[in-house]
């Protein structure tokens, strides 16, 4: 591989206080700076305007930028982290198309990469059909300016190949958390649980793709089997979980910093990942569980990647539409410490070999340089 451009920007927008895409962009930029010695900065459009932060190990100060042109001064390659809802209300962001067009006119040598975290909504019903229509037109317009495009799932990457003549690749979406496996004992002590208590974790925002009812069925099955269960319902906007059973406790800490969140995960014995579209490589929450060597009970659906379906030693998956099957599988895993240990170790190996930051950096650099 030839030496990549030394000055790279992560170009993002955010409209919320909790933003996993922004966290991922920062993690990717820091990994590129650390592993390859690149000069990487985060360029973010907030409600108050543009800001810049130099990405390096540790916290960098964020400063205001007068304009996007000023923010991208000396930058030779950029990665646009795209989610339509980050860039505009209801995902309507025609100004982003104009920004990219102007950059292309003024900066002919600039290498533009587009990482599609989300592309557009599914079209069902009048409202979502209208929204999905303009988001599709917008996404295809943005792709016209790309030298390279990435997506996080196998399905989306194959669709992307038919939508652009740019180079296309699937990029790992890594865990946004530090590795706190060593904090298991101290974290469990702080939670007030001993080794006779099964600690089950669920993690994420209140989103329709999360099958909260499956979580409730699984925990109820565990409690019904005589297990003493503590559920860690993690996430700043985690949906409430209620199970009318004795021997069951919910810990819902709300918003936590990354280190504290990782320590809560480290305390768990089992991770529950039921999604309507199935577990997939786009889920940073799932990656955090694999990073922390947690055995995973999840669901499979139309977005579940082949690598996930084939990782039967690491992931225990059931059909997303069958809550009873998920609950039975999760309960079986909860009752078998040896199986949990085997699956947790296999999940950690899967994360290290296919989804960790060094792999994401290699994919990103290969795309930006056109080699590798």
Q: pLDDT tens digit string along 288-307?
A: 999 999 999 999 999 999 99
Residue 318 reports pLDDT greater than 80: yes
Give a yes or no: residue 151 inside a domain. yes
Scanning the structure block, which residue is given the tokens 């009873």?
324
Same domain, 124 and 47: yes
Residues 54 and 151 in one domain: yes
Q: Give a yes or no: residue 324 inside a domain.
A: yes
Same domain assignment for residues 36 and 168: yes
> 333 and 221 in one domain?
yes
Domain count, the chain: 2
pTM to 2 decimal places: 0.92
Q: List, for residues 182-223, the tens digit of each pLDDT value.
A: 999 999 999 999 989 999 999 987 777 889 999 999 999 999
**Same structural domain for residues 329 and 221?**
yes
Is residue 192 domain-shared with residue 287, that is, in the same domain? yes
285 part of a folded domain: yes
Does the residue 2 lie in any domain? no
Range of the structural domain that residue 227 is part of? 181-354
Is the pLDDT reported for residue 17 higher than 80?
Answer: no
Which pLDDT value is given to residue 2? 43
Asked if residue 91 lies in contact with residue 121, where contact means CB atoms within 8 angstroms, the answer is yes
Residues 109, 207 within the same domain = no
Whether residue 203 is found in the same domain as residue 78: no
Q: Are 308 and 259 contained in the same domain?
A: yes
In this structure, the answer to whether residues 204 and 146 fall within a common structural domain is no
* Parallel, antiparallel or unpaired: strands 270-273 and 296-300: parallel
In this prediction, residues 329-354 reach a mean pLDDT of 98
Structure tokens belonging to residue 103: 């950059």
In a domain, residue 114? The reply is: yes
Strand order from edge to edge, sheet including 148-151:
62-64, 49-55, 39-46, 7-13, 77-82, 111-116, 148-151, 167-170
Output the domain CATH number for residue 265. Answer: 3.40.50.2000
Residue 372 has pLDDT above 70, yes or no: no
Structure tokens belonging to residue 241:
């979980």
Nearest to 91 by CA among 117, 72, 112: 117
Residues 349, 201 share a domain: yes
Per the prediction, the chain carries an average pLDDT of 92
Look at residue 1 in the predicted model and tell me its pLDDT: 38
Find the range with the poorest average confidence among 142-156, 190-204, 206-220, 308-322.
206-220
- Within 10 angstroms of residue 127's Cβ, the number of other Cβ atoms is 11
Q: Considering all CA atoms of the chain, what is the largest pairwise distance in Å, rounded to the nearest integer?
A: 67
Confidence of residue 5 (pLDDT cuts 50, 70, 90): low
Please report whether residue 225 resides in a domain: yes
Q: What is the mean pLDDT of residues 342-360?
A: 97
Question: How far is the C-alpha of 253 from the C-alpha of 24, rounded, in Å?
Answer: 22
What is the SS3 assignment for the chain? CCCCCCEEEEEEECCCCCCHHHHHHHHHHHHHHHHHCCEEEEEEEECCEEEEEEECCCCCCEEECCCHHHHCCCCCEEEEEECHHHHCHHHCCHHHHHHHHHHHHHCCCCEEEEEECCCCCCCCHHHHHHHHHHHHHHHHHHHCCCCEEEECCHHHHHHHHCCCCCEEEECCCCCCCCCCHHHHHHHHHHHCCCCCCEEEEEECCCCCCECHHHHHHHHHHHHHCCCCEEEEEECCCCCCCCCCCCCEEEECCCCCCHHHHHHHHHCCCEEEECECCECCCCCHHHHHHHHCCCCEEEEECCCCCHHHHHCCCCEEEEECCCHHHHHHHHHHHHCCHHHHHHHHHHHHHHHHHHCCHHHHHHHHHHHHHCCC
Question: Do 285 and 207 share a domain, yes or no?
Answer: yes
Mean pLDDT for 351-357 is 97
Q: pLDDT grade, residue 370 (50/70/90)?
A: confident
Share of the chain above pLDDT 70, in %: 97
Q: Which residues contact 107 (CB under 8 A, 6 or more apart)?
A: 72
Is 1 inside any structural domain? no
């Amino acid at each position: 591989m030839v030496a990549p451009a030394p000055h790279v920007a992560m170009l993002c927008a955010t409209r919320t206080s909790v933003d996993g895409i922004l966290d991922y962009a920062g993690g990717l930029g820091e990994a590129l700076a650390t592993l390859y010695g690149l000069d990487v900065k985060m360029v973010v459009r907030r409600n108050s305007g543009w800001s810049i932060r130099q990405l390096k190990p540790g916290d960098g100060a964020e400063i205001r930028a007068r304009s996007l042109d000023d923010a991208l001064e000396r930058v030779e390659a950029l990665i646009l982290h795209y989610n339509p809802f980050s860039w505009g209300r209801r995902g309507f962001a025609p100004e982003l198309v104009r920004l990219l067009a102007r950059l292309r006119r003024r900066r002919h040598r600039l290498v533009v990469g587009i990482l599609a975290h989300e592309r557009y909504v599914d079209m069902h019903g009048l409202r979502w059909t209208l929204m999905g229509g303009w988001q599709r037109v917008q996404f295809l317009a943005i792709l016209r300016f790309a030298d390279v495009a990435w997506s996080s799932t196998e399905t989306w990457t194959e669709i992307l190949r038919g939508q652009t003549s740019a180079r296309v690749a699937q990029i790992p979406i890594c865990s946004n958390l530090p590795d706190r496996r060593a904090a298991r004992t101290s974290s469990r002590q702080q939670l007030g649980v001993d080794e006779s208590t099964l600690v089950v974790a669920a993690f994420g925002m209140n989103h329709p793709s999360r099958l909260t009812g499956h979580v409730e069925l699984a925990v109820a099955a565990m409690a019904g089997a005589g297990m003493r269960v503590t559920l860690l319902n993690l996430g700043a906007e985690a949906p409430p979980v209620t199970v009318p059973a004795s021997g069951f406790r919910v810990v819902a800490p709300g918003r936590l910093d990354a280190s504290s969140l990782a320590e809560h995960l480290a305390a768990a014995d089992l991770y529950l990942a039921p999604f309507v579209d199935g577990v997939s490589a786009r889920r940073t929450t799932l990656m955090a569980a694999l990073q922390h060597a947690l055995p995973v009970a999840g669901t499979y659906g139309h977005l579940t990647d082949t690598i996930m379906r084939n990782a039967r030693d690491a992931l225990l998956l059931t059909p997303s539409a069958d809550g009873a099957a998920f609950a039975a599988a999760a309960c079986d895993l909860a009752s078998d410490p040896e199986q949990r240990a085997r699956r947790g170790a296999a999940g950690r190996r899967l994360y290290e070999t296919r989804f960790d930051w060094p792999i994401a950096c290699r994919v990103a650099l290969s795309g930006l340089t056109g080699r590798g």
